[in-house]
C-alpha cells in the first residue's frame, strides 16, 4: 500500500485523526480510552515542541482516514554537541498492518532527522514484540550493546479534569 505522510499539529483538521489513533494505541497497551484527555496531552506536547507527530494516509485510490502515526522527540546528544531523534510511539491501525505503513513512517522519520542534521534515530520496544523487532531490524536499526536502560518509577500524581 502506498501512503502519504503529513505532519500533525493542534488546530489542523487532521488533528482529530491523530487523537483517535493515539487513543487506539493507548487502548492497545491496556490504557482506558480518554479522547479529551488524549487531545489535551497531545496538544500540549506538540505545541511545546516536546514531540513531533506525523500521520500516514492511504494514497490510493483516494486519500481517506489516517491509518497510522509516529511521534518523535528531538533530544540533545550532549557529548557531540548535537541532537538525535527518538521515536516515541509508532502505531498502525490493525486492519492496515503488513502493508508498508509502519515502514513508510520509519523511513519518513529517518529522512527528516537526516535533513535536520541529527546524529542518529533511536527507539525502544519490548523484547517480545517480534513483528516490531523484525520491522526495525529490516530498516537498519540494531540493539545497542553495552548500555543498560534504567528507570525510577515515581508515584502517579492525582488525575485532575
pLDDT band at 64 (very low <50, low <70, confident <90, very high): confident
Domains of the chain by range and CATH?
3-127 (3.40.630.30)
> Given this model, what pLDDT does residue 23 score?
96
With the C-alpha atoms ordered 42, 47, 52, 53, is the resulting torsion angle positive or negative?
Answer: positive
> Average pLDDT for residues 126-143, to the nearest whole number?
91
Task: Return all residues near 104 (Cβ < 8 A) that are at least 6 apart.
Answer: 3, 5, 56
Place 96 in a pLDDT band, splitting at 50, 70 and 90: confident
99-124 as b/e: b if 16+ CB within 10 A:
bebbebbbebbbebbeeeebebbbbe
- What is the number of other CB atoms lying within 10 angstroms of the CB of residue 72? 23
pTM over 0.85: yes
Question: Residue 156 has what pLDDT?
Answer: 80
- Rounded mean pLDDT of 71-99? 93
pLDDT, tens only, 18-48: 999 999 999 999 999 999 999 999 999 999 9
- Higher-confidence position of 63 and 92: 92
> For 85-114, what is the mean pLDDT?
94
Amino acid at each position: 500500500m502506498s501512503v502519504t505522510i503529513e505532519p500533525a499539529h493542534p488546530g489542523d483538521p487532521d488533528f482529530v485523526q491523530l487523537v483517535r489513533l493515539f487513543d487506539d494505541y493507548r487502548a492497545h497497551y491496556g490504557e482506558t480510552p480518554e479522547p479529551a484527555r488524549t487531545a489535551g496531552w497531545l496538544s500540549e506536547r506538540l505545541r511545546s515542541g516536546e514531540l513531533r507527530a506525523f500521520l500516514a494516509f492511504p494514497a490510493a485510490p483516494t486519500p481517506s482516514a489516517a491509518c497510522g502515526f509516529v511521534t518523535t522527540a528531538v533530544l540533545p546528544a550532549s557529548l557531540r554537541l548535537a541532537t538525535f531523534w527518538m521515536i516515541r510511539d509508532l502505531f498502525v491501525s490493525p486492519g492496515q498492518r503488513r502493508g508498508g505503513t509502519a515502514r513508510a513512517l520509519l523511513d519518513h522519520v529517518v529522512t527528516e532527522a537526516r535533513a535536520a542534521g541529527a546524529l542518529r534515530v533511536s527507539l525502544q520496544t519490548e523484547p517480545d514484540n517480534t513483528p516490531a523487532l523484525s520491522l526495525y531490524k529490516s530498516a537498519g536499526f540494531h540493539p545497542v550493546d553495552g548500555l543498560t536502560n534504567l528507570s525510577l518509577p515515581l508515584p502517579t500524581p492525582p488525575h485532575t479534569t
